Amino acid sequence: MAITQLKHYHSLTIESAISLAKDLSLFDPSENLTCEEIGDGNLNYVFRIASSESGKSIIIKQALPYAKVVGESWPLTLDRARIEARALTLQRSLAERLVPEVYHSDEQLAITIMEDLSHLEIARKGLNKGEIYPSLSKDIGEFLGATLFFTSDYALHPFKKKGYVKEFSNPELCKITEDLVFTDPFFNSETNEFEQALEEEVRNLWDDLPLKLEVAKLKRSFLTEGEALLHGDLHTGSIFAGKEETKVIDPEFAFYGPIGFDLGQFLANLIFQAVVREEKPKKEEILRHIETTWDVFESTFSQFWDQSEDAYTKIDGYLEYVLEKSFADTIGFLGCELIRRTIGLAHVEDLDSVQDEEKRVLYKKTCLALGRECILERHRIRSIQDLLDKLI
Ligand code: ADP
Ligand code: MG
Ligand code: MG
Ligand code: MG
Protein backbone atom coordinates (compact mmCIF):
# COMPACT_ATOMS: atom_id res chain seq x y z
CA MET A 1 0.00 0.00 0.00
CA ALA A 2 1.42 3.37 -0.96
CA ILE A 3 1.58 6.10 1.68
CA THR A 4 -0.48 8.44 -0.55
CA GLN A 5 -3.41 6.03 -0.33
CA LEU A 6 -3.23 6.17 3.44
CA LYS A 7 -3.48 9.93 3.68
CA HIS A 8 -7.16 10.09 4.57
CA TYR A 9 -7.99 9.07 8.09
CA HIS A 10 -8.95 5.46 8.64
CA SER A 11 -8.38 3.36 11.70
CA LEU A 12 -5.43 1.02 11.40
CA THR A 13 -5.67 -2.74 11.60
CA ILE A 14 -2.92 -5.24 12.41
CA GLU A 15 -2.34 -5.65 8.65
CA SER A 16 -2.43 -1.99 7.63
CA ALA A 17 -0.18 -1.04 10.58
CA ILE A 18 2.44 -3.48 9.26
CA SER A 19 2.08 -2.12 5.70
CA LEU A 20 2.48 1.42 6.98
CA ALA A 21 5.66 0.56 8.89
CA LYS A 22 7.10 -1.00 5.72
CA ASP A 23 6.02 1.91 3.48
CA LEU A 24 7.79 4.28 5.83
CA SER A 25 10.95 2.15 5.58
CA LEU A 26 11.03 1.64 9.33
CA PHE A 27 11.98 -1.98 8.63
CA ASP A 28 13.76 -3.81 5.84
CA PRO A 29 11.30 -4.86 3.09
CA SER A 30 12.30 -8.52 3.54
CA GLU A 31 11.71 -8.59 7.33
CA ASN A 32 8.98 -10.77 8.75
CA LEU A 33 6.89 -8.53 10.99
CA THR A 34 4.40 -9.31 13.74
CA CYS A 35 1.94 -6.81 15.18
CA GLU A 36 -0.34 -6.69 18.20
CA GLU A 37 -2.65 -4.05 19.66
CA ILE A 38 -1.45 -3.49 23.23
CA GLY A 39 -3.29 -0.30 24.26
CA ASP A 40 -4.66 -0.44 27.78
CA GLY A 41 -5.45 3.26 27.92
CA ASN A 42 -8.88 4.82 27.69
CA LEU A 43 -8.62 6.76 24.49
CA ASN A 44 -6.38 5.37 21.75
CA TYR A 45 -5.03 2.38 19.87
CA VAL A 46 -1.43 1.30 20.43
CA PHE A 47 0.17 -1.17 18.02
CA ARG A 48 3.50 -2.86 18.67
CA ILE A 49 5.29 -4.04 15.52
CA ALA A 50 8.33 -6.27 15.83
CA SER A 51 10.74 -8.07 13.54
CA SER A 52 11.70 -11.56 14.64
CA GLU A 53 14.88 -11.40 12.54
CA SER A 54 16.45 -8.16 13.77
CA GLY A 55 14.66 -7.93 17.13
CA LYS A 56 13.80 -4.34 16.25
CA SER A 57 10.40 -3.02 17.32
CA ILE A 58 8.34 0.17 17.15
CA ILE A 59 5.09 1.55 18.56
CA ILE A 60 2.34 3.13 16.46
CA LYS A 61 -0.17 5.05 18.56
CA GLN A 62 -3.33 6.13 16.76
CA ALA A 63 -6.10 8.40 17.98
CA LEU A 64 -9.66 7.38 17.17
CA PRO A 65 -12.33 9.97 16.37
CA TYR A 66 -13.95 9.00 19.66
CA ALA A 67 -12.82 7.87 23.14
CA LYS A 68 -12.04 4.13 23.02
CA VAL A 69 -13.35 3.50 26.54
CA VAL A 70 -16.84 4.89 25.84
CA GLY A 71 -17.22 4.33 22.09
CA GLU A 72 -18.63 6.37 19.22
CA SER A 73 -21.10 8.15 21.48
CA TRP A 74 -18.19 10.22 22.86
CA PRO A 75 -16.58 11.94 19.85
CA LEU A 76 -13.11 13.34 20.49
CA THR A 77 -10.85 15.41 18.26
CA LEU A 78 -8.10 13.68 16.27
CA ASP A 79 -6.05 16.84 16.78
CA ARG A 80 -4.87 15.29 20.07
CA ALA A 81 -2.48 13.12 18.01
CA ARG A 82 -0.83 16.25 16.58
CA ILE A 83 -0.54 17.70 20.08
CA GLU A 84 0.93 14.46 21.44
CA ALA A 85 3.57 14.11 18.71
CA ARG A 86 4.58 17.78 19.04
CA ALA A 87 4.69 17.65 22.83
CA LEU A 88 6.80 14.48 22.82
CA THR A 89 9.24 16.06 20.38
CA LEU A 90 9.48 19.33 22.30
CA GLN A 91 9.74 17.62 25.70
CA ARG A 92 12.43 15.30 24.36
CA SER A 93 14.42 18.31 23.17
CA LEU A 94 14.33 19.59 26.78
CA ALA A 95 14.71 16.30 28.69
CA GLU A 96 16.12 13.83 26.18
CA ARG A 97 16.79 10.98 28.61
CA LEU A 98 13.21 11.00 29.93
CA VAL A 99 11.04 10.99 26.78
CA PRO A 100 10.75 8.39 23.98
CA GLU A 101 12.05 9.22 20.52
CA VAL A 102 9.41 10.00 17.87
CA TYR A 103 10.32 8.38 14.52
CA HIS A 104 7.41 9.71 12.50
CA SER A 105 4.03 11.37 12.89
CA ASP A 106 1.11 12.07 10.56
CA GLU A 107 -1.71 14.48 11.38
CA GLN A 108 -4.13 13.05 8.81
CA LEU A 109 -3.78 9.53 10.13
CA ALA A 110 -3.57 10.82 13.71
CA ILE A 111 -0.56 8.63 14.43
CA THR A 112 2.67 8.91 16.37
CA ILE A 113 5.33 6.31 15.68
CA MET A 114 7.81 6.04 18.53
CA GLU A 115 10.41 4.11 20.41
CA ASP A 116 9.18 0.83 21.91
CA LEU A 117 9.49 0.91 25.70
CA SER A 118 8.27 -2.61 26.39
CA HIS A 119 11.43 -3.41 28.37
CA LEU A 120 10.05 -1.03 31.02
CA GLU A 121 6.84 -1.23 33.01
CA ILE A 122 4.03 1.27 33.51
CA ALA A 123 4.90 2.79 36.92
CA ARG A 124 1.40 2.37 38.34
CA LYS A 125 1.43 -1.37 37.60
CA GLY A 126 4.91 -1.85 38.99
CA LEU A 127 4.24 0.17 42.14
CA ASN A 128 1.08 -1.84 42.75
CA LYS A 129 3.20 -5.00 42.66
CA GLY A 130 5.75 -3.48 45.03
CA GLU A 131 8.46 -2.93 42.42
CA ILE A 132 11.16 -0.50 43.50
CA TYR A 133 12.06 2.33 41.12
CA PRO A 134 15.03 4.11 42.72
CA SER A 135 15.23 6.96 40.18
CA LEU A 136 11.52 7.54 39.51
CA SER A 137 11.04 10.71 41.57
CA LYS A 138 14.42 12.21 40.76
CA ASP A 139 13.67 11.72 37.06
CA ILE A 140 10.16 13.16 37.22
CA GLY A 141 11.43 16.14 39.24
CA GLU A 142 14.02 16.73 36.53
CA PHE A 143 11.50 16.25 33.72
CA LEU A 144 9.19 18.82 35.30
CA GLY A 145 11.96 21.28 36.15
CA ALA A 146 13.22 21.27 32.55
CA THR A 147 9.97 21.08 30.57
CA LEU A 148 8.09 23.61 32.70
CA PHE A 149 10.95 26.11 32.93
CA PHE A 150 11.99 26.08 29.27
CA THR A 151 8.46 26.47 27.91
CA SER A 152 7.65 29.43 30.21
CA ASP A 153 8.05 33.20 29.87
CA TYR A 154 10.94 32.92 32.34
CA ALA A 155 12.95 31.29 29.54
CA LEU A 156 11.40 32.10 26.17
CA HIS A 157 11.16 35.16 23.96
CA PRO A 158 7.51 36.31 24.18
CA PHE A 159 6.89 35.67 20.46
CA LYS A 160 8.14 32.11 20.75
CA LYS A 161 6.08 31.51 23.87
CA LYS A 162 2.88 32.83 22.30
CA GLY A 163 3.59 30.67 19.24
CA TYR A 164 3.63 27.64 21.50
CA VAL A 165 0.47 28.77 23.29
CA LYS A 166 -1.28 28.84 19.91
CA GLU A 167 0.19 25.55 18.76
CA PHE A 168 -0.82 23.78 21.96
CA SER A 169 -4.36 25.13 22.14
CA ASN A 170 -6.19 21.95 23.19
CA PRO A 171 -9.80 22.87 24.04
CA GLU A 172 -11.43 19.44 23.83
CA LEU A 173 -8.95 17.64 26.04
CA CYS A 174 -8.83 20.55 28.49
CA LYS A 175 -12.62 20.32 28.74
CA ILE A 176 -12.30 16.70 29.86
CA THR A 177 -10.03 17.82 32.71
CA GLU A 178 -12.21 20.83 33.52
CA ASP A 179 -15.24 18.54 33.89
CA LEU A 180 -13.76 15.34 35.31
CA VAL A 181 -11.16 16.83 37.67
CA PHE A 182 -12.57 20.18 38.69
CA THR A 183 -16.37 20.06 38.38
CA ASP A 184 -18.17 16.71 38.28
CA PRO A 185 -16.75 15.16 41.50
CA PHE A 186 -17.91 18.17 43.49
CA PHE A 187 -21.51 18.01 42.26
CA ASN A 188 -24.08 15.25 41.96
CA SER A 189 -23.08 14.50 38.37
CA GLU A 190 -23.88 11.36 36.35
CA THR A 191 -20.24 10.72 35.57
CA ASN A 192 -19.39 10.05 39.24
CA GLU A 193 -18.84 6.53 40.46
CA PHE A 194 -18.41 5.45 44.07
CA GLU A 195 -19.48 2.68 46.38
CA GLN A 196 -22.50 2.95 48.62
CA ALA A 197 -20.28 3.00 51.72
CA LEU A 198 -18.91 6.42 50.69
CA GLU A 199 -22.32 8.01 50.19
CA GLU A 200 -22.24 10.10 53.37
CA GLU A 201 -18.71 11.44 52.76
CA VAL A 202 -19.59 12.28 49.16
CA ARG A 203 -22.79 14.13 50.10
CA ASN A 204 -20.79 16.10 52.65
CA LEU A 205 -18.34 17.12 49.91
CA TRP A 206 -21.15 18.26 47.64
CA ASP A 207 -22.57 20.38 50.48
CA ASP A 208 -19.22 21.86 51.47
CA LEU A 209 -19.46 25.41 50.14
CA PRO A 210 -16.10 26.69 51.49
CA LEU A 211 -14.45 23.71 49.75
CA LYS A 212 -16.27 24.41 46.48
CA LEU A 213 -15.13 28.04 46.58
CA GLU A 214 -11.50 26.88 46.80
CA VAL A 215 -12.00 24.37 43.95
CA ALA A 216 -13.50 27.18 41.87
CA LYS A 217 -10.27 29.18 42.41
CA LEU A 218 -8.14 26.20 41.38
CA LYS A 219 -10.26 25.60 38.29
CA ARG A 220 -9.96 29.29 37.44
CA SER A 221 -6.21 28.99 37.64
CA PHE A 222 -6.26 25.92 35.34
CA LEU A 223 -8.49 27.79 32.87
CA THR A 224 -6.62 31.08 32.78
CA GLU A 225 -2.96 30.81 33.79
CA GLY A 226 -0.90 29.94 30.71
CA GLU A 227 2.41 29.74 32.54
CA ALA A 228 4.16 26.75 30.97
CA LEU A 229 3.53 23.80 28.64
CA LEU A 230 2.01 21.13 30.86
CA HIS A 231 2.04 17.41 30.19
CA GLY A 232 -1.58 17.57 31.29
CA ASP A 233 -2.08 13.91 32.30
CA LEU A 234 0.94 13.09 34.45
CA HIS A 235 -0.35 10.21 36.52
CA THR A 236 1.71 7.07 37.17
CA GLY A 237 -0.02 5.37 34.20
CA SER A 238 1.70 7.87 31.86
CA ILE A 239 5.18 6.89 33.07
CA PHE A 240 7.31 3.91 32.05
CA ALA A 241 9.75 2.92 34.79
CA GLY A 242 12.63 0.56 35.30
CA LYS A 243 15.47 0.17 37.77
CA GLU A 244 17.57 2.83 36.07
CA GLU A 245 15.29 4.38 33.50
CA THR A 246 12.17 6.54 33.39
CA LYS A 247 10.20 7.71 30.33
CA VAL A 248 7.18 9.99 30.24
CA ILE A 249 4.58 9.13 27.58
CA ASP A 250 1.04 10.14 26.56
CA PRO A 251 1.07 13.99 26.55
CA GLU A 252 -2.11 14.31 24.46
CA PHE A 253 -3.57 16.64 27.13
CA ALA A 254 -0.63 19.06 26.78
CA PHE A 255 -1.51 22.76 26.88
CA TYR A 256 -0.36 26.00 28.54
CA GLY A 257 -1.42 26.00 32.20
CA PRO A 258 -0.20 26.61 35.74
CA ILE A 259 3.10 24.97 36.77
CA GLY A 260 1.62 23.22 39.82
CA PHE A 261 -0.82 21.09 37.83
CA ASP A 262 1.53 18.31 36.62
CA LEU A 263 3.26 18.25 40.00
CA GLY A 264 -0.07 17.91 41.80
CA GLN A 265 -1.29 15.06 39.59
CA PHE A 266 1.94 13.11 39.94
CA LEU A 267 2.15 13.59 43.72
CA ALA A 268 -1.50 12.60 44.21
CA ASN A 269 -0.86 9.36 42.34
CA LEU A 270 2.11 8.67 44.63
CA ILE A 271 -0.13 9.40 47.61
CA PHE A 272 -2.52 6.61 46.57
CA GLN A 273 0.45 4.26 47.01
CA ALA A 274 1.36 5.81 50.36
CA VAL A 275 -2.21 5.29 51.55
CA VAL A 276 -2.52 1.61 50.54
CA ARG A 277 0.92 0.63 51.90
CA GLU A 278 0.67 -0.37 55.55
CA GLU A 279 4.19 -1.67 56.20
CA LYS A 280 6.34 1.19 57.39
CA PRO A 281 9.39 0.73 55.12
CA LYS A 282 7.18 0.32 52.06
CA LYS A 283 5.22 3.46 52.89
CA GLU A 284 8.49 5.27 53.67
CA GLU A 285 9.74 4.49 50.16
CA ILE A 286 6.80 6.39 48.66
CA LEU A 287 7.16 9.28 51.11
CA ARG A 288 10.78 9.66 49.96
CA HIS A 289 9.57 9.75 46.32
CA ILE A 290 7.11 12.52 47.20
CA GLU A 291 9.84 14.54 48.90
CA THR A 292 12.39 13.95 46.13
CA THR A 293 9.96 14.93 43.37
CA TRP A 294 9.43 18.38 44.84
CA ASP A 295 13.05 18.89 45.92
CA VAL A 296 14.49 17.94 42.52
CA PHE A 297 11.86 19.97 40.69
CA GLU A 298 12.69 22.99 42.84
CA SER A 299 16.46 22.71 42.47
CA THR A 300 16.31 22.01 38.71
CA PHE A 301 13.93 24.91 38.09
CA SER A 302 16.05 27.23 40.27
CA GLN A 303 19.28 26.31 38.47
CA PHE A 304 17.72 27.15 35.10
CA TRP A 305 16.27 30.35 36.56
CA ASP A 306 19.78 31.57 37.36
CA GLN A 307 20.64 31.35 33.65
CA SER A 308 17.55 33.28 32.55
CA GLU A 309 17.97 36.51 30.59
CA ASP A 310 14.67 38.03 31.67
CA ALA A 311 15.35 41.24 33.67
CA TYR A 312 12.90 40.38 36.44
CA THR A 313 14.42 36.98 37.16
CA LYS A 314 17.31 38.94 38.69
CA ILE A 315 15.02 40.63 41.20
CA ASP A 316 15.37 39.23 44.71
CA GLY A 317 12.30 37.38 45.86
CA TYR A 318 10.75 36.74 42.41
CA LEU A 319 11.92 33.10 42.16
CA GLU A 320 10.74 32.50 45.74
CA TYR A 321 7.34 33.99 44.85
CA VAL A 322 6.98 31.73 41.79
CA LEU A 323 8.01 28.63 43.75
CA GLU A 324 5.71 29.41 46.69
CA LYS A 325 2.77 30.03 44.38
CA SER A 326 3.52 26.81 42.47
CA PHE A 327 3.79 24.85 45.71
CA ALA A 328 0.41 26.03 47.01
CA ASP A 329 -1.15 25.27 43.59
CA THR A 330 0.49 21.83 43.62
CA ILE A 331 -1.10 21.02 46.98
CA GLY A 332 -4.50 22.25 45.76
CA PHE A 333 -4.39 20.35 42.46
CA LEU A 334 -3.19 17.29 44.32
CA GLY A 335 -6.29 17.53 46.50
CA CYS A 336 -8.58 17.68 43.44
CA GLU A 337 -6.84 14.63 41.92
CA LEU A 338 -7.19 12.64 45.17
CA ILE A 339 -10.92 13.31 45.22
CA ARG A 340 -11.71 12.82 41.55
CA ARG A 341 -9.83 9.49 41.31
CA THR A 342 -11.77 8.23 44.34
CA ILE A 343 -15.33 9.21 43.40
CA GLY A 344 -15.20 10.53 39.81
CA LEU A 345 -15.31 8.77 36.44
CA ALA A 346 -11.71 7.58 36.15
CA HIS A 347 -10.52 5.56 39.10
CA VAL A 348 -7.08 4.16 39.98
CA GLU A 349 -6.11 0.51 40.28
CA ASP A 350 -4.12 1.37 43.44
CA LEU A 351 -7.39 1.82 45.35
CA ASP A 352 -9.88 -0.26 43.37
CA SER A 353 -7.76 -3.41 43.39
CA VAL A 354 -7.77 -3.60 47.21
CA GLN A 355 -9.85 -6.77 47.75
CA ASP A 356 -10.74 -6.33 51.45
CA GLU A 357 -13.80 -4.08 51.29
CA GLU A 358 -13.40 -2.60 54.74
CA LYS A 359 -9.82 -1.55 54.00
CA ARG A 360 -10.69 -0.27 50.54
CA VAL A 361 -13.42 1.96 51.91
CA LEU A 362 -11.16 3.16 54.70
CA TYR A 363 -8.37 4.07 52.21
CA LYS A 364 -10.86 5.89 50.03
CA LYS A 365 -12.18 7.85 53.01
CA THR A 366 -8.58 8.76 53.85
CA CYS A 367 -8.06 10.05 50.29
CA LEU A 368 -11.25 12.11 50.36
CA ALA A 369 -10.41 13.68 53.73
CA LEU A 370 -6.82 14.38 52.69
CA GLY A 371 -7.95 15.81 49.35
CA ARG A 372 -10.33 18.16 51.12
CA GLU A 373 -7.71 19.24 53.63
CA CYS A 374 -5.11 19.92 50.93
CA ILE A 375 -7.52 22.05 48.91
CA LEU A 376 -8.60 24.09 51.95
CA GLU A 377 -5.22 24.34 53.67
CA ARG A 378 -2.96 24.74 50.63
CA HIS A 379 -1.68 28.15 51.73
CA ARG A 380 -0.90 26.85 55.21
CA ILE A 381 0.92 23.72 54.03
CA ARG A 382 4.25 25.46 53.56
CA SER A 383 6.69 22.70 52.77
CA ILE A 384 6.83 19.16 51.48
CA GLN A 385 7.53 18.07 55.08
CA ASP A 386 4.18 19.61 56.14
CA LEU A 387 2.53 17.40 53.50
CA LEU A 388 4.45 14.28 54.58
CA ASP A 389 3.37 14.87 58.20
CA LYS A 390 -0.22 14.36 57.05
CA LEU A 391 0.62 11.02 55.44
CA ILE A 392 2.31 9.26 58.34
P1 ADP B 1 -3.82 6.34 26.07
O2 ADP B 1 -3.69 7.74 25.61
O3 ADP B 1 -4.90 5.63 25.34
O4 ADP B 1 -3.90 6.24 27.56
P5 ADP B 1 -1.02 5.53 26.26
O6 ADP B 1 -0.08 6.38 25.49
O7 ADP B 1 -1.09 5.73 27.72
O8 ADP B 1 -2.48 5.62 25.60
O9 ADP B 1 -0.67 4.02 25.95
C10 ADP B 1 -1.51 2.96 26.39
C11 ADP B 1 -0.64 1.76 26.70
O12 ADP B 1 0.06 1.34 25.52
C13 ADP B 1 0.43 2.01 27.74
O14 ADP B 1 -0.05 1.85 29.04
C15 ADP B 1 1.46 0.96 27.39
O16 ADP B 1 1.07 -0.30 27.91
C17 ADP B 1 1.37 0.91 25.86
N18 ADP B 1 2.36 1.82 25.25
C19 ADP B 1 2.16 3.12 24.93
N20 ADP B 1 3.28 3.68 24.44
C21 ADP B 1 4.22 2.70 24.43
C22 ADP B 1 5.61 2.64 24.05
N23 ADP B 1 6.24 3.70 23.54
N24 ADP B 1 6.25 1.46 24.22
C25 ADP B 1 5.61 0.36 24.73
N26 ADP B 1 4.32 0.36 25.09
C27 ADP B 1 3.62 1.51 24.96
MG1 MG C 1 -2.47 6.73 28.92
MG1 MG D 1 5.04 -3.87 28.99
MG1 MG E 1 -3.75 9.34 26.90
Give the model confidence (pLDDT) of 133-180 as tens digits. Answer: 999 999 999 999 999 999 999 999 999 999 999 999 999 999 999 999
Q: How far apart are CA 390 and CA 329, in angstroms?
A: 17
- Is pLDDT of 2 > 60? no
pLDDT of residue 7: 66
Lowest-pLDDT choice from 63-72, 86-95, 309-318, 340-349: 63-72
Closest Cα to atom 15 of ligand 1: 39
Q: How many residues are given for the chain?
A: 392
Span 377-392, mean pLDDT? 97
Span 180-190, mean pLDDT? 98
Q: Check the annotation: does 316 bind a ligand.
A: no
CA triplet 141, 144, 148: central angle to 5 degrees?
150
The rounded Å distance from CA 231 to ligand 4 centre is 10
**What residues does ligand 1 touch, defined as CB less than 6 Å away?**
38-44, 46, 59, 61, 100, 114-118, 122, 238, 249-250, 252
Span 234-242, mean pLDDT? 98
Lowest-pLDDT choice from 12-26, 63-77, 150-164, 308-322: 63-77
Mean pLDDT of the chain: 96
Nearest-10 Cα torsion for 297, 300, 301, 303: 160
Span 234-250, mean pLDDT? 98
pLDDT of residue 4: 46
Identify the nearest ligand to the CA of 45 by its number: 1
Pocket test residue of 249, 253, 265, 349 for ligand 1, highest count of atoms within 8 A of CB: 249
* C-alpha distance from residue 145 to each of 141, 153, 238 (Å): 6, 14, 17
What topology is assigned to 3-115 in CATH?
Phosphorylase Kinase; domain 1 (3.30.200)
pLDDT of residue 70: 75
Beta bridge partners, 36, equal 48
Is 323 buried (19+), middle (13-18) or exposed (0-12) by CB count in 10 A?
A: middle
Q: Which amino acid is at 308?
A: S
Read off φ and ψ for residue 319, nearest 5 degrees. -60, -45
The full set of domain ranges for the chain reads: 3-115, 121-389
47 or 1, which is more confident?
47
- Give the CATH H-level superfamily of domain 121-389: Aminoglycoside phosphotransferase (APH), C-terminal lobe (3.90.1200.10)
What percent of the chain lies above the pLDDT cut of 90? 94
- Across 154-279, the runs of DSSP E, i.e. the strands, are 228-230, 239-241, 246-248, 255-257
Q: How confident is the model at residue 1 (pLDDT cuts 50, 70, 90)?
A: very low
- Is pLDDT of 6 > 90? no
Q: In what order do the strands lie in the sheet with 246-248?
A: 121-122, 239-241, 246-248
The rounded Å distance from CA 41 to ligand 1 centre is 7
Q: What is the pLDDT of residues 13-43, one digit of tens each?
A: 999 999 999 999 999 999 999 999 999 877 8
Please report the ipTM that was assigned to this predicted complex: 0.97
199 φψ region: left (φ > 0), alpha (ψ -120 to 50), beta (else): alpha
